[in-house]
Structure 1
């Protein structure tokens, strides 16, 4: 059962060369993802002179985040597992697939990657604002809180099904693109309401660089709860019990 597999880990989980390489991979993957995702929003703002979000802008953001995450997961998958998201790391931890100490190392790397990406964006755009995630007019913090839970649940459930499940088989090949697509789809569904973060690191970098922490807790609490729930449900229902894949003719 996953609860029994949860472990704090050993001190070397934070300084072993393999652990440090994995953390570095998470740093660069998160930097790549956040630079593309946040940069797409800044580019839209620049092209529209700060105009409000439009359907075309939402589609552009979904594509940029989906493509960026696809690449970020792919390039780190064989080194760190390609989490690129503290909520995914938390889900892996509560499911017993990563130790607490290794998870904290990943979190530090992910947050640093996001912050550096936003600093680079600010510098390379001659001081443009890296806008923090915010709620749209008429959307309450509790609306956004539930939306972040649901969207991140879908994301981490997809990660488990395509990347973590030991019986994933050939489905693992499409894990990066499946993960990128669920993020893009969720942005189309929730981006107009609260920005559709699903990723505390994605929210942290812009908030830090712009120093705008309004409602920032929503973008931590929602994703962590959603990610943790997805991990526990998938572990208990689908991994902790023997399950056989459907025959190929019915798959």
Structure 2
């Protein structure tokens, strides 16, 4: 059983991770690069207006126009692709383990269509619910303190998954009330807020586009992850004599 569980999760995580990593290159990555350009320009403008750094900015500007550093550009692109792929695959395997573990707990034999439903639940718990309070963010956007955001994200994912589990698998009206409280609690309490008075340097339209695209890509990721996890889990089921 352990071998079946891990084999299913690893195959599903790797396949879904590779496909989504490729999709990232044409969806979210160009938006991240655009945001980084805004951030770089803002940083240079800030240094220029300080007065004491004018000469430094002038030298940097001149070196950019004359230097032959083009060989570094492909390296950074390759590095970005490699890191994106690795993190997506690793997270995919981890989330796939959750899916197949849930199948084991429920005594399900798996199957692609069953897995897609689990994937929708995973998307709701780990992406949609947290994004309601902490939408995906671009470089240069104002963010609340990291630890607070991480705790809120994790807590929201856990209570949302628990609430959905109760709603789907239990038929007790009192438990329905508990599930509703769990689903609403993180949003009633609210996500951590950035208290800085400095505004974001990223245009609102770009930030909204990134958030929408990122959530959409993650929806595809979770559909693939759930479907493939349950498919392989069923495929690797020991044959009875």
> Whose helix fraction is larger, Structure 1's or Structure 2's?
2
Q: Considering the TM-score relative to the shorter chain, is it more than 0.5?
A: no
Instruction: Give the TM-score taking structure 1 as reference length.
Output: 0.27
**Greater gyration radius:** 2
